[in-house]
Chain A
Amino acid sequence: MTSKLLTIIEKDGKAAKDKDPNLSDAELKRVYKTMVTTRMMDERALNLQRQGGIGFYLQALGQEASHIGSALAMEDSDWFFPAYRQPGIMLLRGADLDDIVNEWYGNDGDTSKGRQMPVHYSLRSINFVSISSPIGTQLSHAAGAAMAAKIRGDDTVFMTYCGDGGTSSNDFHSGLNFAAVYQSPCVFVVENNQWAISVPTSQQTASESMAAKATAYGIPGVRVDGNDILAVYRVCKEAVDRARKGGGPTLVETVTYRMGSHSSSDDAARYRDEEEYERWKERDPIDRFQKYLAKKKLWSQDWEDEFREQFKQDLQDAIDRARVRPKPAAATLFDDVYMNPTKQLIEQREELLGLEGPEADDIGEFPL
């Protein structure tokens, strides 16, 4: 059992030479840019929600290293079964910004056709499987997809995420147990951000760590500094490589912190000490990585200003396009329930489309 916390980048940006995964300069810069733009996107989206532009949002503030560092360990042909707090994976994989923003608006350009609340993306173009709200269900899916890949003889690896709260779900147990029994190529990333909405980790488990739970399943469990992107990458790369070589699943616990509230509907100030937030702010994953890059002479203010300006504009353009797109057509309400609609669905569709008079307006856009 490994429950020691692996850290590579020190507070001042220095990295232990023997532990540094030695990513190329171009890769390091791409990763930094992804972290920064992910945070920019989160900020812009939350503002949009506050201004009444979109109905809901859920940030990954403070967890950029945790999910981007883990995703970086995956090949393009590998699959993600994400939870709802890994937006940086989409930017890392070069997803179309329109696909992301259209989902916030649930408009007719949304890949999921306006069927889900904001942040429940489905992006087949980057092997990013549709997100659901029930906690932990994706953990069994990843285990099953990994079993299927093994049955077919594919060398695909699967990565799935949950938070500290997710470790209490039925599917955490089922997913880890099945993946372990069948030695399927799956990496379980528990982003321990210390809070499940308002419930702290101490109320979630009596285990000494989330990684410790791996022992009971007979698989490696690794605990890593989740605000250190190189450490997260290194640990996950080992796990992904092991999975691809037939070595079975790994549980990775990234110890991090949810710097924002749970969602746009939550206010963390009601249950959380400001002091705790300040302590973690000092360990901000982006600041730390920036110091590391600066030491390597890979970062400059000009470069950052430039890509920030470009991303700000690109995102705004995507928002401007998304907000004027209409809702999906009424008839699409009945599509995709089944491959072909049943007679009952066709009858209900005709009944709806045959109605006359104004559509109901008493629900409003964002009633909560």
Chain B
Amino acid sequence: MTEMTLLGAVTDALRTEMRNDDRVVVFGEDVGKKGGVFGATDGIQSEFGETRCFDTPLSECGIIGTAVGMAVYGIRPIAEIQFMDFIYPAFDQIVSEAAKMRYRSGGEYTCPMVIRTPYGGGIRGGHYHSQSSEAYFCHTPGLKVVIPSTAADTKGLLISSIRDEDPVMFLEPKRIYRTHKGEVPDGEHVVPLGKGRVAREGTDCTIVAWGAMVGICEKAADEAAKQGKSIEIIDPRSLVPLDEELILESVKKTGRCLVVYEAPKSCSFGSEIAAIVAEKAIEYLEGPVARVGGFDTPFPYSLEHLYMPDVRRVLKGIEKTFTW
């Protein structure tokens, strides 16, 4: 075990899997000599050379389009998109090509690739460096969507994503890139996709949260405990595939459910979780399923602290599941 940041765990996972599988290549804007704008690929090019870790022209469409071709041909591309907010020029390549290659070719061609990208708010980045647009990708059959919230999970999930036979969107909560530190197993460490974790055990209300929101919810749970409420926190770790059972088991136990996420509240993946709970666990519910998300506004700059779910809003959300 080594203590490292969530960011360090990204680098550790890349290094581990590149040593393990010489088909793996890493590329994107500034990922080579500079090691990425956040440093996620720091030292990768010097260890593996310019053939396996290289800078690209400034074109998200080209980065993902060429990654699709590489994956179809048979190597394992890991493409970095510098900020998730810049991913849209590549949207067509992701949803029309990467996601559909296996299906549309009847399984003749596949597209095993990883798109790594930092996402989410809390860094004073305004709306072009802060968005959480996971819902677009969760809504696209053929893609997997993975979001870690701890350093150990970051390593284990990223390695699983690289080994996966399908395209994976690996979304890194940049707000906790450096603030989160944890013990990470050395060498081989795999966390399977589709298995959530109980981040905190409790008995009165289930909160489902991912990425940087898990930490916020943990703080809120401490506050709620002072009011005598025992909160359970479920971190799905991958939104697609989703560990429905873990969420439903927890809700059946607590009888209450709150979903917390950074994306705009409406039509979010949180809405999907609320629907699943309503569809499959209504007889266990003692109150309404509540959502605390970002607002249905573009991501703000100066008022970011009001837009982002915080302890105050999460507590209010918990209250809604008890009182209506």
Contacts and interface: CB of A to CB of B under 8 A. Distances in A.
Interface of A: 79, 81, 110-113, 115-116, 120, 122-124, 129-130, 132, 134, 137, 139-149, 151-152, 170-171, 173-175, 177-178, 181, 335-339, 342-344
B70 A148 contact: yes
A193 B145 CA distance: 41
Main secondary structure of the interface of A (DSSP, over half): helix
Interface residues of B, number: 47
A175 B62 contact: yes
B194 interface: yes
Interface centre among A137, A144, A181, A336 (most CB of B within 10 A): A144
A149 B69 CA distance: 10
A174 B90 CA distance: 11
Given A149-B73, A151-B75, A342-B240, A122 B108 contact: yes
Contacts of A146: 69
B66 A152 contact: no
A345 to B, nearest CB: 8
Q: Which 6 residue pairs are nearest across A and B when measured between Cβ atoms?
A: A140-B65, A144-B69, A144-B66, A174-B62, A141-B69, A130-B105
A112 B194 contact: no
A342 B65 contact: no
A141 B57 contact: no
Interface centre among B56, B65, B245 (most CB of A within 10 A): B65
B105 to A, nearest CB: 4
A140 B104 contact: no
A122 B104 contact: yes
B108 A140 contact: no
Given A124-B108, A151-B51, A174-B65, A129 B72 contact: yes
Contacts of B86: none
B142 interface: yes
Interface in B91-111: 92-93, 96-97, 100-110
A130 B101 contact: yes
Contact of A145 (B69, B96, B102, B144): B69
Contacts of B64: 140
Nearest to B67: A144
Given A137-B65, A148-B73, A170 B104 contact: no
B187 interface: no
B44 interface: no
Interface in B226-244: 240-242, 244
